[in-house]
Amino acid sequence: MKGIFTALMCSFDEKGQINEKGLREIVRYNIDQSKVDGLYVNGSTGENFLISTEQKKRIFEIVKDEAKEQVKLIAQVGSLNIEEAVELAQFATDLKYDAISAVTPFYYKFDFEEIKDYYNTILENVDNQMIIYSIPALTGVSMNLDQFGELFENEKIIGVKFTAPDFFLLERLRHAYPEKLIYSSFDEMLLSASVLNVDGAIGSTFNVNGHRAKQIFELAQNGQIAEAREIQKVTNDLIADILENGLYQTIKEILKLKGVDAGICRKPMKTLTDEKIEKAKQIAERYL
């Protein structure tokens, strides 16, 4: 379960329906071209919070059918509707996903006891291992070292996807829980997190830049920091341009230039203007 995991995109058509052929091509590109170690399915990058339960299930099925046992698969099942979270967790477990993950419950200001109950409830109903998905900037939910420790008391919780620029907390977590899996999740901070000995990383830009993420991670593990810094620099030039042009839309556009039918983003995400499509082309030509 260690290494570089792509936060998988999903291909959608103009009607917002899953483009199965396109999704299969995205899976193949990540496995065959970028050679990532795993896929994180139905995360933010998969537009998970914009789609129906049936669509989430179908995506789990298609990805498993395409990837088979070739890479590790993590199913993100988190939902404010706890029955949906349990249903998806059971569904992905039946499909033999290697682990499930759930975003911390958001929108309402849940206290820590409620958050803990959410994870324990999902896990009481499913025979699988869980990776907490912590992304305070989007959920408003920040947990401290002790609270992570309390969640980790449940042995089925095997790790955390740590999506925050808090390197103090990241170092404390690494030190306090050497046996838990910690995935760094801001791609622009991969090297810094790797130096702190994270077990892997999960990221959106790995859909097109997974090969560089693998290099950064492996070089850092070998102590080749200067070399890793060079690759992180190019990576961050790329990420800065992608973020400026529109994150998920630009990644999809770049995939299309690589011959992958990545489709468009679901509403209310907008589509790229012609000018931005041209810019995406320039980004691809410059870096990929």
Annotated binding site for pyruvate: 45, 202
Give the annotated binding-site residues. Answer: 44-45, 163, 187-188, 202, 204
Q: Shortest Cβ distance from residue 239 to ligand HMN (Å)?
A: 6
Cis peptide preceding 268, ω within 30 of 0:
yes
Nearer to ligand HMN, 22 or 46 (CB): 46
Q: Shortest Cβ distance from residue 163 to ligand HMN (Å)?
A: 4
Q: Shortest Cβ distance from residue 104 to ligand HMN (Å)?
A: 12
Nearer to ligand HMN, 127 or 192 (CB): 192
Is 96 an annotated catalytic residue?
no
For residue 189, what are its two tokens?
């901070």
- Measure the N-to-C terminal CA separation of the chain; round to a whole number of Å: 27
Interatomic CA distance for residues 113 and 111, integer angstroms:
6
Interatomic CA distance for residues 12 and 21, integer angstroms:
10
Give the number of other CB atoms < 10 A from CB of residue 36: 26
Nearer to ligand HMN, 19 or 205 (CB): 205
Interatomic CA distance for residues 115 and 150, integer angstroms:
11
Candidates 97, 118, 133, 183; catalytic one: 133
Interatomic CA distance for residues 259 and 268, integer angstroms:
26
Q: Under the rule (CB under 6 A), what is the footprint of ligand HMN?
A: 7, 40, 43-45, 138, 163, 185-188, 202-205, 239, 243, 247
Is 72 an annotated catalytic residue?
no
Candidates 161, 180, 252, 279; catalytic one: 161
Active site residues: 133, 161
